Amino acid sequence: RGGYESASKHFNPADVEVDVAGRSFLVTGANSGIGKATAKEIARRGGTVHLVCRNKDQAEVAKEEIVTETGNQNIFLHIVDISNPKEIWKFAEKFQDEHKLNVLINNAGCMVNNRELTEDGLEKNFATNTLGTYIMTTALLPLLEKAADARVITVSSGGMLVQKLNVSDLQSGSGPFDGTMVYAQNKRQQVVLTEQWAKAHRNIHFSVMHPGWADTPAVRSSMPDFYERMKNSLRTEAQGADTVLWLAVSAEATKLPSGLFFQDRQPVATHLPLAYTHSPPEDEEKLMEVLEEFSQKFKSVSPG
């Protein structure tokens, strides 16, 4: 929280005091934590917000809260499990026929501390954080390509700084399984995805960010020891969401190059000084190829 408080002294409040009526935003993992805080702030500014959530009951409560607190009726709910690639494809294909989209916020994520497989046989952290983010984004690119001032923001984590991209074991099948490190690896993968997309799609502004460590339900449940030690110094959900909001609505964000990693409204390095976390371009290309293969495999089996 201290980091946020000192950084925020230099923020220009006018950056986010904007009216975004008529613009459409999709937020994944929007029923709690940073996703909900972001959705609420966009709703306050008049945006049309699509909440993509896995848990229907929690999502309905979140939607009700957002509508009540903001008075914005243009809040739509979609129930999608981001760890299920077939479901994402089905959702994205239907969404493109019915809606427009200016800004995609990839916020859904998970940190599962034991190696669990989804019904498709995918390791759950990889399925949600990496493949889910990849499919949601690439499936909606055609819609974003048509939009004015299109943006894609992915919520990563500073934890990724300890990981070098590892394309040889994307599903963490070899060696001992450490959920925290698997999560950090997925978050490194999201940074690489953002950099690669930024090169390939010039008329969409891509960014990836570290929200700082915030007091969210996800941190409480997946990192209980860390939470107990740090709970008095964690950021609030709104503080964690601040840079997401800034990247989603401010004119300032898109003056900076596409593909950067942000913390507290500033681009920051994606590697620590002297760290051995840089990867060769062929590894980054390999990541894109493998994800595209997975993506197409699940697309071909989706109905319609």
Cα→Cα distances 99→38, 89, 102, 244, 299, Å:
20, 15, 10, 22, 20
Cα atoms in the 13 Å half-sphere on the side-chain side of 190 = 37
DSSP state letter for 255: G
Do 11 and 265 touch, CB atoms closer than 8 A? yes
- CB count within 10 Å of CB 274 equals 5
Examine the residue annotation and report whether 183 is marked as an active-site residue of this protein: yes
Catalytic residue among 4, 134, 183, 227: 183
- Which candidate, 26, 17, 43, places its Cα nearest to that of 101? 26
Q: Is 271 left (phi over 0), alpha (psi -120 to 50) or beta?
A: beta
> In whole angstroms, what is the distance from residue 70 CA to residue 116 CA?
38
> In whole angstroms, what is the distance from residue 248 CA to residue 241 CA?
11
Amino acid present at 261: F
**Vertex 33 angle, CA 234 and 114, to 5°:** 85
Cα atoms in the 13 Å half-sphere on the side-chain side of 92 = 27
> In whole angstroms, what is the distance from residue 104 CA to residue 248 CA?
8
Do 136 and 203 touch, CB atoms closer than 8 A? no
- Which candidate, 101, 192, 210, 195, places its Cα nearest to that of 155? 210
Q: Kindly list the catalytic residues.
A: 183
